[in-house]
Amino acid sequence: MVKNTYMRWRLPLICLLWEIAMIILFGVFVRFDPEADAHWKEEWHQKNLTSDIENDFYFRYPSFQDVHVMIFVGFGFLMTFLQRYGFGAVGFNFLLAAFGIQWALLMQGWFHSFENGKILIGVENLINADFCVGSVCIAFGAILGKTSPVQLLTLTLFQVTLFAVNEYILISLLHVKDAGGSMTIHTFGAYFGLTVTRILYRPNLEQSKDKQGSVYHSDLFAMIGTLYLWMYWPSFNSAVSNHGDAQHRAAINTYCSLASCVLTTVAFSSLLQKKGKLDMVHIQNATLAGGVAVGTSAEMMLTPYGSLIVGFLCGIVSTAGFVYLMPFLESKLKIQDTCGIHNLHAMPGLIGGIVGAVTAAAATEEVYGKEGLISAFDFTGDYKDWTPTVQGGFQAAGIFVSLAMALAGGAIVGAILKLPFLGDPADENCFEDDVYWEVPEDEESGLYHMHDPTLKPVTS
């Protein structure tokens, strides 16, 4: 079957119309948060602030920039491991994230920052928009190389919407704590993406199997993504935590969990391979599972050794997932998961939700202090009578809600993405940049084609 992948009218149209829609909606709804508004000096006097440094900008902006790097360089380059899909990995990730953050500012704004008919945005909204888009980047990993940019923008529109609904249910209705997003970002994003790729199952994908591998330098590009995700994950998990000790603690816990995870990833990468050699796929991905799995609990009193234990387990689970579970998912469940997000985000995300529920349920006044406990779990107002046990129960409920939203939402969105006019590539053109990109001239010289192991270099 010949597929029509000609993008010339479809892609520009969707980009322009949707961006115009953003402009109109921003014009109607979006204004600056008081801390970013020129009236702030007047608020200053009313709030008895003594210094500009009290502006939330200074508490969160460095973390925001780190998160921003994770979304665009981290996820973008992590996916450049494919030998002939580097442009698509970095470029489509760029496109969907740039659209997604705008739509997320609106969706999350309506739910969380809506006052007197206006959405008021500040640095925390920017971080949350990046977080929301992070879940789309995760889902993109499952369908990497198999979708058109129009499909990806469509996916982004729907997934951001569902993310915001799910987040609202968890954070606002169930009073769940999930500052680093084990549930809202990773569990939701990964199971959503896995469901979508299941719906989009391609029985003849082995036609492009030879392009699904990496080449030497593409693996090094991917390591840029890995390392930026790994290094900045402490910022990710602490970016929207409470000011002060909570941000501080979240960074420390994440640092510890990630360090531990590297060791068990290396151990199992070597152990599960007969020749005992290390596999770059594991190093690029499973080393990050420790960050995913403390996403909920990092701001709690998980303690450094607790974090080491979580990281220890996740390195094992994630690496074993790549070796044993991924082939099973593909052959038995027809889930073709290009980047292995099941191993990096889905399983560690679930673990993260569980660790968060247990850590919350185990909280005591002795460990947190009276004031600390109230502040850590926001046991004020309607929730002033909540106990850690109740909190733990609602945390657990959050896992199931996220899973349900992901599976139901992914099924619907997957079906939408099957619409024929969205321009998906034929099976033999998957994992191949030149369907949607102008590819430079080294193709002619033989170098680009040489990446294809079935071809020999051009000789005179």
The site map against its own copies for 74-113 (x = CB under 8 A) is --xx--x--x--xx--xx--xx--xx-xx--x--------
Q: How far is the CB of 332 from its own copies (least distance, A)?
A: 25
- Side-chain half-sphere CA neighbours of 239 within 13 A: 26
- Going by their DSSP bridges, the two strands 30-32 and 118-121 should be labelled as parallel
Q: Whole-angstrom Cα distance, residue 176 to residue 359?
A: 13
- Cβ-based nearer residue to its own copies, 173 or 447: 447
Q: How far is the CB of 199 from its own copies (least distance, A)?
A: 26
By C-alpha distance, which of 389, 233, 405, 236 is closest to 311? 233
Which segment (17-25, 332-340, 387-395, 405-413) binds its own copies by CB under 8 A?
A: 17-25
CB 101 within 8 A of CB 129: yes
Q: How far is the CB of 130 from its own copies (least distance, A)?
A: 10
Among 312, 378, 390, 428, binds its own copies (CB under 8 A): 312
Which contacts (CB < 8 Å, 24+ apart) does range 30-34 have? 30/105, 30/106, 30/109, 30/118, 30/119, 30/121, 31/118, 31/119, 31/120, 31/121, 32/120, 32/121, 32/122, 33/113, 33/120, 33/121, 33/122, 33/125, 34/120
Q: How far is the CB of 177 from its own copies (least distance, A)?
A: 13
Which segment (137-145, 170-178, 212-220, 411-419) binds its own copies by CB under 8 A?
A: 212-220
Q: How far is the CB of 306 from its own copies (least distance, A)?
A: 9
Query: Does residue 266 bind its own copies (CB under 8 A)?
Result: yes
Q: Is 82 helix (H, G, I), strand (E, B) or coil?
A: strand
Query: Does residue 126 bind its own copies (CB under 8 A)?
Result: yes
The residues in 270-289 that bind its own copies, with binding defined as CB under 8 A, are 270-271, 273-280, 283, 287
Query: Does residue 459 bind its own copies (CB under 8 A)?
Result: yes
Its sign, for the CA torsion 94, 100, 101, 103, is positive
Q: Whole-angstrom Cα distance, residue 429 to residue 409?
A: 28
Q: Alpha carbon of 16 to those of 9, 13, 320: distances in Å? A: 11, 5, 44
- Cβ-based nearer residue to its own copies, 67 or 169: 67
The residues in 347-366 that bind its own copies, with binding defined as CB under 8 A, are none
Query: Does residue 267 bind its own copies (CB under 8 A)?
Result: yes
Among 165, 171, 174, 259, binds its own copies (CB under 8 A): 259
Query: Does residue 220 bind its own copies (CB under 8 A)?
Result: yes
The site map against its own copies for 394-423 (x = CB under 8 A) is ------------------------------
Q: How far is the CB of 107 from its own copies (least distance, A)?
A: 15
Tokens representing residue 202 in the block: 């391609």
Radius of gyration of the chain (CA): 22
The residues in 136-175 that bind its own copies, with binding defined as CB under 8 A, are 149
Beta bridge partners of 151: none
Query: Does residue 121 bind its own copies (CB under 8 A)?
Result: yes
Q: How far is the CB of 205 from its own copies (least distance, A)?
A: 18
Q: Is 164 helix (H, G, I), strand (E, B) or coil?
A: helix
Q: How far is the CB of 416 from its own copies (least distance, A)?
A: 20
Among 1, 2, 9, 382, binds its own copies (CB under 8 A): 9
Among 136, 163, 199, 219, binds its own copies (CB under 8 A): 219
By C-alpha distance, which of 183, 167, 24, 180 is closest to 102? 24
The residues in 375-394 that bind its own copies, with binding defined as CB under 8 A, are 375-376
Query: Does residue 21 bind its own copies (CB under 8 A)?
Result: no
CB 251 within 8 A of CB 66: no
Q: Alpha carbon of 93 to those of 302, 382, 406: distances in Å? A: 33, 40, 20
Q: How far is the CB of 243 from its own copies (least distance, A)?
A: 4
Q: Whole-angstrom Cα distance, residue 243 to residue 167?
A: 21
Query: Does residue 1 bind its own copies (CB under 8 A)?
Result: no
The residues in 39-58 that bind its own copies, with binding defined as CB under 8 A, are 39-42, 50-58
